[in-house]
Amino acid sequence: MSHIYEALQRAEAERKSGAQAVATPEEPEHKSLAFAAAMPPVVADVVQAPEVTASALTEEPVTVDSSFLSDVRRRPWNPSFERLPALERGGVGVEQFRSLRSRIQEFRDLRNLKTVLISSGLPQEGKSFIAVNLAINLARHKSSKVLLIDGDMRCSSLHHYLGSEFHPGLPDYLSGKASLQEVMQFPEEAKDRDPSMTAVLNNIAFIPGGDGGDLAADLSASKRFDELLTAVKPHFDWIIVDSPPVLLVSDAVNLARSCDAVLLVARSGVTTFPVAQRAQQELKASNVIGFVLNAVEKPPMSGSYYYRYETKKE
Binding footprint of ligand ATP on the chain (CB under 6 A):
25, 29, 33, 35, 83, 120, 123-129, 152, 155, 157, 244-245, 294-295, 309, 311
128 near Mg ion, judged by CB under 5 A: yes
- Which of these ranges, 28-36, 149-157, 172-180, 295-303, lies near Mg ion under the rule CB under 5 A? 149-157
- Sheet (strand 238-242) strand order: 73-75, 185-187, 204-207, 146-150, 238-242, 115-119, 261-267, 288-294
At 113, the amino acid letter reads L
129 vs 238, beta carbon nearer ligand ATP: 129
DSSP state of 87: G
- The C-alpha atoms of residue 115 and residue 240 are separated, in whole angstroms, by 6
- The CB-nearest residue to Mg ion is 128
- How far apart CA 230 and CA 46 sit, in angstroms, is 28
Give the span between the Cα atoms of 170 and 172, in whole angstroms: 5
Q: Does 120 bind Mg ion (CB under 5 A)?
A: no
What's the chain's length in residues? Answer: 314
Closest approach of Mg ion to the CB of residue 126, in Å: 8
121 binds, among Mg ion, ligand ATP, none (CB under 5 to 8 A by kind): none
Least distance from ligand ATP to the Cβ atom of residue 91, Å: 13
Rounded distance between C-alpha atoms, residue 232 and residue 61, angstroms: 11
Q: Which amino acid is at 282?
A: E
Smaller CB separation from ligand ATP, 152 or 260: 152
Q: Which is nearer to Mg ion, 52 or 293 (CB)?
A: 293
Q: Which is nearer to ligand ATP, 33 or 183 (CB)?
A: 33
Least distance from ligand ATP to the Cβ atom of residue 250, Å: 14
Rounded to whole angstroms, the Cα distance separating 206 from 200 reads 13
- Choice between 185 and 294, CB closer to ligand ATP: 294
- Kindly state the smallest distance separating residue 125's Cβ from Mg ion, in Å: 9
| Contact indicator for 146, 281 with CB cutoff of 8 Å | no
- Report the candidate in 111, 4, 55 with the shortest Cα–Cα distance to residue 286: 55
Chain residues in the site for Mg ion (CB under 5 A):
127-128, 157
